[in-house]
Chain A
Amino acid sequence: MKKAVKVKALNFSTSWSYAPAPEAADHFQLKERYDLFINGKFSAPATGKYFDTINPATEKKIASVAEAGAADVDKAVRAARQAYEKTWSKMPAAERGKYLYRIARILQERARELAVMESMDGGKPIRESRDIDVPLAAAHFFYYAGWADKLDYAFPGRRAQPLGVAGQIIPWNFPLLMAAWKIAPALACGNTVVLKPAESTPLTALRLAEILQEAELPPGVVNILTGAGATGAALVNHPGVDKIAFTGSTEVGKMIQKALAATDKKYTLELGGKAANIIFEDAAIDQAVEGIINGIFFNQGHVCCAGSRLFVQEGVAKEVLRKLKDRISTLIVGDPLDKNTDVGAINSKEQLGKIKALVNAGIREGGECWQPACSLPSRGYWFRPTVFTQVAQSHRIVQEEIFGPVLTVQSFRTPEEAVEKANNTPYGLSGGIWTDKGSKIFKISGKIRAGVLWANTYNKFDPTSPFGGYKESGMGREGGLHGLLPYVKLS
């Protein structure tokens, strides 16, 4: 037993506050209207329809974006097929790689404007888009560029060949980064791409299209179609597509798996999660508290691998919870473009509604809901960092992915109990382990049924590090050597 130490409560009710430190958004031009990127050119959609993309922090329209219909999907798939047959699959692999290097370099050069656009369109704090999303996107292109002419070393005893046209559907939580995760390995392996960004965050993908033009990537190698679910469905069902790569909800992932039944299309799915973040008594507590914060409030909790279920060993549960609440009380929720902001805007009105509904369900089921007294802007979509205690395994907020800044806290006594609770979910994407003992890291990480385990850290990503889930969190890996497999056939 640790000796009870009397702790002085932290006082946050001072008049001291941070001065605003907004990132400028006047150093680049946005178009008023964006068309579809097909065969190397921007062209108006056959549907004639456009939808608005709005800034979730202000609820103001940023631009009009084309809505691709079935005819547009068909046009893009044909362009991709032609580029695959005539250009991309015929090109020496080293040259393919050089295009990817070029793209990586331009992404680095345009990093600042991309970061600002990302935060404007999606609501994420500029600190994250600037330090994580954009640099990682560039790093992914740079990493896979080097694979293009080294595929013979990736699969012992086999020859890797491209699949053809890859249809790729990406989510709104990391718009540019997910585009990079999808496009870079596909192109490195010799495939061509039709990419559909999420309807609420299309802007950085469209800027990426401009970058591809700047890189002089041959027309049709990458086509970018904006639109909502119907556009995605048309892409999934198009007979000219050889492979579907999807990142998004488990619900939609299952629909895609069903839709592809008895077709010859290959598919990879990166779906939802409900990760356990496990704090053992021997962990460095202050460091762990930072890790809990990063695990659940990174990107407003709009992260499939978010550490949304906290498990704390009984002996330190009180201390961890107290320190956690203290730390949460210092988080700044507000303007995504402000460099001081820790938690930005919820991505869309729809998502805010989902978070509220689940939080209300948590309260109804008897969970104890705690939020800091932080101020929120008057306009835009916001949700305070939220901690639920007194929850049980059977509660909806413990079982279902909330995809928002909502953490549930449970305690455990033995490592076995922690593992059992951690695995008691249909998901299996990620997990966190906090302990000072290396041997415990190996043991516990080996027992958790999930694709990515972070020890004494959380939400770390790297192009060389494979990412993807077990069970209902999807199938296939993105990143690293193992991220090549979804884009090749072996002979």
Chain B
Amino acid sequence: MATNTLLKVKSLKVKSVSNGHEVPNTRLEVRKTYKLYIDGKFPRTESGRIYALKDPSGKVLANVCRGSRKDLRDSIVSNRKAQESWAGRSAYNKAQILYRIAETLEGRKAQFTEVLIQQGDAPAQARKEVDAAIDLLVYYAGWSDKYIQVFSSVNPVESSHFNFSYHEPMGLVTVIAPQREGLKGIVSTLAPMIVGGNVCTLIASEKYPLTAVDFAEVLQASDVPAGVVNILTGYRKEFLAPASSHMDVNALLHIDLDAEQRRLVQTNAALNVKRMIDFSKEELLSPYRILAAQEVKTTWHPIGT
């Protein structure tokens, strides 16, 4: 994994030569191509479109994939294939995989800090955010084998039945990552979804697409099965309509949509009674984030001989 290549912008020393051209006086850095993450692979957008991501000084950082509706559909097909098997993993196993993501991220702190800074964050803020993101993963890993214990119930019905209610994942959740907080915004939405057995297509922040794609590499390196999380970059406004109207999406998670965008997604959500999950007021560290994407199933089991 060539993490150092991300430091390219700063380390590129130049010197002027007389004819007015600039040439590097050290090794030419290998730039990274940022692509989508679908089904455990890194494809380019099928649309062939890109948008230029610039740093605060106006310098182009990368040509980011401007994902399309077709990419979204592909992503959802891959999510759906992965869902049942992911939800069927033991709670212990899911906990370990989330913890593994934290471990991998810890090892790449420098990379993520740097990339956040490139995308415009102040260094101190970037460092703090990376730490918080890692700790969030540890927190949610710990809930994996506990939230069902805490929030399930055995219901004392009048008839001769063992009646119990417990949580199951809603299934497929489209996550509209917040535009701010390039790493924490991703982790604080994804972690409570996947720990509960959901699979996600995440629409990355337009401002922080690089951290999102880098985070996909972390997921890939942490034994998160292909299709459990797919990450798309591009224009939010192009994704909102297809993501909210897709008939195989069970829920849509958002944080910072404006009133007009909320109206759009909720209107479309009614097509298949999609659940709308709004984390704008939900605490960062809370089992209620997990429950927000869970269904309650009640079973009447007979008692008898």
Chain A interface residues (CB < 8 Å from chain B): 139, 156-158, 250, 253-255, 257-258, 260-262, 269, 271, 426, 438, 441-442, 445, 449-457, 460, 462, 464-468, 470-475, 477, 480-482, 490
Contact = CB atoms under 8 A, between A and B. Distances in A.
A454 B298 CA distance: 9
A254 B271 contact: yes
Interface of B: 150-151, 153, 155-159, 161, 163, 165, 170-171, 250, 259-260, 262-264, 266-267, 269-273, 275, 286-288, 295-302
8 contacts: A156-B150, A156-B151, A262-B262, A262-B266, A271-B273, A426-B272, A453-B300, A480-B165
B273 A262 contact: no
Contact of A257 (B151, B269, B287, B288): B269
Contacts of A258: 266-267, 270
Contacts of A477: 296
Contact of B288 (A260, A460, A482, A490): A490
A250 B300 CA distance: 25
A468 B294 CA distance: 13
Contacts of A481: 153
A356 B220 CA distance: 55
A156 B286 CA distance: 11
A260 B270 CA distance: 10
A456 B302 contact: yes
A450 B297 contact: yes
Contact of A457 (B264, B296, B298, B302): B302
Given A253-B273, A465-B157, 16 more contacts: A250-B273, A260-B266, A262-B266, A442-B299, A442-B301, A452-B298, A453-B297, A455-B299, A462-B155, A464-B157, A465-B155, A466-B165, A470-B170, A474-B273, A481-B153, A482-B165
B245 to A, nearest CB: 12
B298 A460 contact: no
Contacts of B170: 470
A413 B22 CA distance: 74
A462 B269 contact: no
Nearest to A136: B158
Contact of B262 (A261, A453, A455): A261
A233 to B, nearest CB: 15
Nearest to A267: B276
B163 A465 contact: yes
Contacts of A462: 155, 157-159, 163
A457 B157 CA distance: 14
Contacts of A456: 302
A99 B271 CA distance: 40
B156 A464 contact: yes
Top 8 closest A-B pairs, CB basis? A262-B263, A261-B266, A462-B157, A257-B270, A464-B155, A258-B270, A456-B302, A254-B270
B273 A482 contact: no
Greatest chain A CB density within 10 A among B165, B297, B298 is at B298
A254 B299 CA distance: 27
A212 to B, nearest CB: 25
Nearest to A456: B302
Nearest to B278: A264
Contact of A470 (B156, B157, B165, B295): B295
A465 B150 contact: no
Contacts of B153: 466, 480-482
Contacts of B301: 438, 441-442, 455
A210 B299 CA distance: 36
Contact of A466 (B270, B298, B302): B298
Contacts of B286: 157
B296 A453 contact: no
Nearest to A445: B299
A271 to B, nearest CB: 7
Greatest chain A CB density within 10 A among B157, B170, B271 is at B157
B272 A472 contact: yes
A262 B267 CA distance: 8
A480 B288 CA distance: 18
Contacts of B300: 452-455, 457, 460, 465
B163 A451 contact: no
A453 B150 contact: no
Contacts of B288: 158, 490
Contact of A261 (B263, B287, B295): B263
Given A457-B161, A462-B158, A471 B273 contact: yes
Nearest to B267: A261
Contacts of A449: 171
Nearest to B158: A462
A480 B273 contact: no
Nearest to A258: B270
A450 B176 CA distance: 27
Nearest to A477: B296
A441 B159 CA distance: 18
A254 B271 CA distance: 7
A336 B151 CA distance: 42
B299 A464 contact: no
Nearest to A457: B300
A480 B272 contact: no
B248 to A, nearest CB: 10
Contacts of B264: 261
Contacts of B299: 441-442, 445, 452-453, 455
Contact of A472 (B158, B161, B171, B273): B273
Contacts of B165: 465-466, 480, 482
Given A254-B271, A269-B273, A475-B273, A460 B159 contact: yes
Given A261-B266, A271-B273, A467 B159 contact: no
Contacts of B297: 445, 450-453
A460 B295 contact: no
Nearest to A257: B270
Contacts of A471: 250, 272-273
Nearest to B271: A254
